[in-house]
Chains A and B, each alone.
Chain A
Amino acid sequence: MTDTIAENTELAERDANEKYHGLTYAEIDKLGAELDELRLRVIADLGEPDAEYLRKVVKAQRSFEIAGRALFYLPPAWPLAVASLSVSKILDNMEIGHNVMHGQYDWMGDPAFNSRQFDWDTMAPAENWKYGHNYMHHTYTNIVGKDRDVGYGILRMDEDQKWNPYYLGNPLWAFLLMTFFEWGVALHDLETEEVFAGRRKMFGGENAPVWRRIRKKMGKQVLKDYVLFPALTGPFFLSTLAGNFTANIVRNIWTFNIIFCGHFPAGVATFTEEETENESRGQWYLRQMLGSANITGSKLMHVMSGNLSHQIEHHLFPDIPARRYPEMAVEVQEICERYGLPYNKGPLHTQLFSVFRKIVRLSFPGGTSKAAPVRGPQAVTDDSLAA
């Protein structure tokens, strides 16, 4: 009873001038409508070129993979084999796997590119990952305490995460996570922080099916990369094994770096559970924009990052084929300018350095990483906003 009254008073007090992350609620609704309009426009335009692009990338990935596996028979070509296999794994995980498993290509009706059927060449089983990523991370992006990708339950990546001496190892933990990223991503779905808090069993209870899937997938990946393919090359067993291991590590390092540049550079905002309760579609869009950062670079760099270099657009439109993000970015950036919203972007080295600084700084108590200010659309006349 009291709660209802309090809520009503709160709503009544939400007057025209009240602001949420620098915008009035009316402005946020308008922002949401503009982004919805952009979304519908691109969805209506999906077709042959998108399908053709995906098939082309898949064909390239399969070619790199076959070439990589075959070149291990030719010992002097070892570096080439590793490079080829690394490229194959990166394409498989990023531009193909991540995006297909988001349902970006479900509309094609091709079972080979269906989000319910696809699995990728990495340790994390598709079903576990889709729950933790598509649902938890993409719905509750950057809500500290709800989005398990804020620090992955291992690192302190936000000043609102309470410090304890364990975090002195922040840089070391980050380095280890980077090197063995595919193992980390797979184990992430066991929600170990819940296990340590005593709220669930590591391998039993609700974790039992999750763990069973992880074991099965890890078994298959290990068998393939560290037993069967090395054995097939006979006398070159060890060099093939080392090559496969190296390719997996190269992919780990690359994907870790791209992903950490998506939400952790300086200026990216985080949110509290309270402020995001009952949020509107516009507020959700706003949170995705303020909570993500882009990497600028060449076309090759966008392809190799699965277009996650357009993390802002990916978080606004996670189910739209990623190849559309570059063209959407032009409009999103223009919208940000009009609303006086920060649009966090920078070249890879700048974003990486920013992330690195945060990892080191937050290994100590306190922290200063503040979100970039929202100027709001004051600078713009009401007329142009209404247009």
Chain B
Amino acid sequence: MSALISEPAALPTRAVGARIASPLGPLLRSRLVGALASPHGIDRYLERFNPMWAAHDVRARIVSVHRETDGDAPVATLTLQPTSTWRGHQAGQHVLVGVEIPGVAKRYTRAFSISSAASGKGERFTLTIRAHDEGQVSSYLVREAQAGQVLHLSQAQGEFTLVESPATPTISRLVFITGGSGITPAMSMIRTLLRDGYQRNGVAHAGRKVTFLHFARSAEDQIFADELAEIAAADNGIDVHLRYGDQVFSEFELRRLVADYKDTDTWLCGPPGLVELVKAAYDESPRLRMEFFKPSVARAARPGEEIEGDIAFTRSGKTIAASGASILEQAEEAGLTPEFGCRMGICFSCTRTKTAGTVRNILTGEESAVPDEEVRICVTAAAGDCHIDL
């Protein structure tokens, strides 16, 4: 048995801190304590004693870091012990992870899919993360994060979950089609099916037929390789089909594997190319659920290069060509009336969230491509395509 297979069984152990905190939780979340701790909130006092004590905030201590693959873009699985405030997750959901990267003292927040089976309140779960070159957070978590470190979390979020169509009997067939890192939420679903299925001759069985079709760059790059091999070998109802390199998705192949795939509950997660092909094959079937990887909208202007790109104001749905003027001026040009004050970068009245894209601080010349970043739009200009929460 590989270490990975045995891991889910070890997961639902709660830390001592979480167990002590649970009866206190309702009291700490009461209106009385809220009024006493006003305006800062009780968590600002609890964290002074122990970062794992929280009444509202969610944080997690890294229990272990397990390297899955090496190479240029290594993958690691982080096992996390959340605070008792963690409400658990459904298979397929993701979580926002905030990390203070040492040296720069800035907290960066990114979304990561949860790879372990569905978790309950305060229960351990795992994240399986690939270190991307341009991803400071993923790179840090994979290469440098250490057991014992505390991360900031959101609650689990996302609608891409293991919920079947109401008409589907619980024993009917399921299909998972994934590409690259898109395997992570599907892995959480497979692990949940095996855990919550039944035991047959001492082997976990999903209790139904499951077809798992996955596309990866190469066999060496395959995450969960050992576990997938074991799942494939066991008599558990799950068929695993791995495709490497040039092998692309084809409707013909899918039809051969699952004849009535359009009427079968299917979960799809992968890069845009794969998503397009599968979407076309399913032809608007309501049985297909999908999750995209956020395509990188940012295309930064290089220093000295003419600015080329659009500012998309996501709330109002307006778009304007970036001119190099401040985003505030450009918003007004587009007919919007955002709040502002000094118009010189000192009062922070005009602060908005840049959800994606690259911007340049007019005062410092500094460029930034960090998603979900707060910017003062009176002293910030687009340096390429960008999305502003306006």
Q: Are A48 and B103 in contact (CB under 8 A)?
A: yes
Taking the nearest CB of chain B, how far is it from the CB of A238, in angstroms?
19
Taking the nearest CB of chain A, how far is it from the CB of B370, in angstroms?
9
Report A96-140 CB contacts with B as 1/0, cut-off 8 Å: 000000110011111010111001110000100011001100110
* Chain B residues closer than 8 Å to A106, beta-carbon distance: 348, 351, 374
Question: Could you tell me the distance between the alpha carbons of A106 and B39 in the complex, rounded to whole angstroms?
Answer: 19
Taking the nearest CB of chain A, how far is it from the CB of B141, in angstroms?
16
* Chain A residues closer than 8 Å to B302, beta-carbon distance: none
Residues facing A in B334-367 (CB within 8 A) are 341-342, 344-349, 351, 363-364
Q: Does B105 contact A (CB under 8 A)?
A: yes
Interface of A is mostly: helix
The number of residues on chain B lying at the interface, defined by a beta carbon within 8 Å of a beta carbon of chain A, is 32
Question: Could you tell me the distance between the alpha carbons of A66 and B47 in the complex, rounded to whole angstroms?
Answer: 13
Name the CB-closest residue of B to A102.
B348
* Chain A residues closer than 8 Å to B248, beta-carbon distance: none
Residues facing B in A1-50 (CB within 8 A) are 36, 39-40, 43-44, 46-48, 50
Residues facing A in B39-88 (CB within 8 A) are 39-40, 44-45, 48
Interface size class of A (residues with CB under 8 A): 35 or more
The residue that A134 contacts in the complex, of B35, B107, B349, B363, with Cβ under 8 A, is B349
Q: Are A120 and B39 in contact (CB under 8 A)?
A: yes
Q: Does A223 contact B (CB under 8 A)?
A: yes
Question: Could you tell me the distance between the alpha carbons of A114 and B374 in the complex, rounded to whole angstroms?
Answer: 10
Question: Could you tell me the distance between the alpha carbons of A51 and B106 in the complex, rounded to whole angstroms?
Answer: 9
The number of residue pairs between A and B whose CB atoms lie closer than 8 Å in the complex comes to 99
Q: Does B36 contact A (CB under 8 A)?
A: yes
Question: Could you tell me the distance between the alpha carbons of A249 and B102 in the complex, rounded to whole angstroms?
Answer: 41
Taking the nearest CB of chain A, how far is it from the CB of B154, in angstroms?
11
Q: Are B39 and A66 in contact (CB under 8 A)?
A: no
Q: Are B342 and A139 in contact (CB under 8 A)?
A: yes
Q: Does A59 contact B (CB under 8 A)?
A: yes
* Chain B residues closer than 8 Å to A229, beta-carbon distance: 36
Name the CB-closest residue of B to A48.
B105
Q: Are A281 and B344 in contact (CB under 8 A)?
A: yes
Q: A119-B39, A131-B349 are in contact. Are A108 and B107 (CB under 8 A)?
A: yes
Q: Does B282 contact A (CB under 8 A)?
A: no
Q: A119-B39, A228-B36 are in contact. Are A51 and B105 (CB under 8 A)?
A: yes
Q: List 18 A-B contacts (CB under 8 A).
A: A36-B363, A40-B363, A44-B364, A47-B104, A48-B102, A52-B105, A58-B44, A59-B48, A62-B44, A119-B39, A119-B40, A121-B40, A130-B347, A138-B342, A138-B347, A139-B342, A224-B36, A281-B344
